[in-house]
Chains A and B, each alone.
Chain A
Amino acid sequence: GNSVTQMEGPVTLSEEAFLTINCTYTATGYPSLFWYVQYPGEGLQLLLKATKADDKGSNKGFEATYRKETTSFHLEKGSVQVSDSAVYFCALGNTGNQFYFGTGTSLTVIP
């Protein structure tokens, strides 16, 4: 079946620190992988995606590489800002049009 396991939070970092949020997946076939971000009181926003193995998705300084050999899609950012404080969800999209989400990782960045 399809599932996503995501690093549990909460994560608290100082501004300009390096961020890694781990995500691993289980899937049949060849899924697409996504990171969504949810700011307080708002809906989910697509942060980045990768549709095949070895693809790197990137946006707003965030990056994630689709690693088929390790079934991983870890989110990284070199220097976080206070405005990056949010909940981050790793997700998998496969045939059947469903998304499978991880449980979310809450990030707080302190000045």
Chain B
Amino acid sequence: GAGVSQSPRYKVAKRGQDVALRCDPISGHVSLFWYQQALGQGPEFLTYFQNEAQLDKSGLPSDRFFAERPEGSVSTLKIQRTQQEDSAVYLCASSSTLQGASYGYTFGSGTRLTVV
């Protein structure tokens, strides 16, 4: 597609509920990233995929967070047993190169998750 597409745009979850957030990167982009942006803060790295391989998951805050990209295209970020501190905007980004950090990513509009 023309840009990085994320769905849903907004998600309200009750505490303890599981959620799944979807990211459709730009077609052909090999690198895919997830970031978490708390209110009034800059985005913070969660995880990185190169094609279907998850090469870095050092930013995932707990084992309740899980990400996958099984066919090297669409990715899903899953959060189990959501807690209030999980409330944030979750941003997906993709890059056509393996050196995205040197040249820049294209970000999606994000999914705003509110846990009540």
Known: A93-B101, A97-B31. 5 other contacts (CB 8 A): A34-B104, A97-B55, A97-B100, A103-B40, A103-B41
14 A-B pairs with CB atoms under 8 Å apart are A43-B4, A43-B107, A43-B108, A44-B107, A51-B103, A89-B43, A93-B101, A93-B102, A93-B103, A97-B31, A97-B48, A97-B55, A101-B44, A104-B41
Q: In this assembly, does A20 line the interface, its C-beta being within 8 Å of a C-beta of chain B? A: no
Interface residues of A in 16-32 (CB under 8 A from B): 32
Indicate if the CB atoms of B42 and A42 lie closer than 8 Å: no
* B residues in contact (CB < 8 Å) with A: 4, 6, 31, 33, 35, 40-45, 48, 55-56, 59, 91, 93, 98-110
Q: In this assembly, does A99 line the interface, its C-beta being within 8 Å of a C-beta of chain B? A: yes
Q: Write the chain A residue with the least CB distance to B110.
A: A43
Bound CA–CA A38/B104 (angstroms):
15
Q: In this assembly, does A70 line the interface, its C-beta being within 8 Å of a C-beta of chain B? A: no
A97 proximity list for chain B (CB < 8 A): 31, 33, 48, 55-56, 98-101
Indicate if the CB atoms of B102 and A32 lie closer than 8 Å: yes
Indicate if the CB atoms of A99 and B103 lie closer than 8 Å: no
Interface residues of A in 84-100 (CB under 8 A from B): 89, 91, 93-100
| Residue from A42, A49, A93, A102 whose CB has the most chain B CB atoms within 10 Å | A93
B106 proximity list for chain A (CB < 8 A): 46
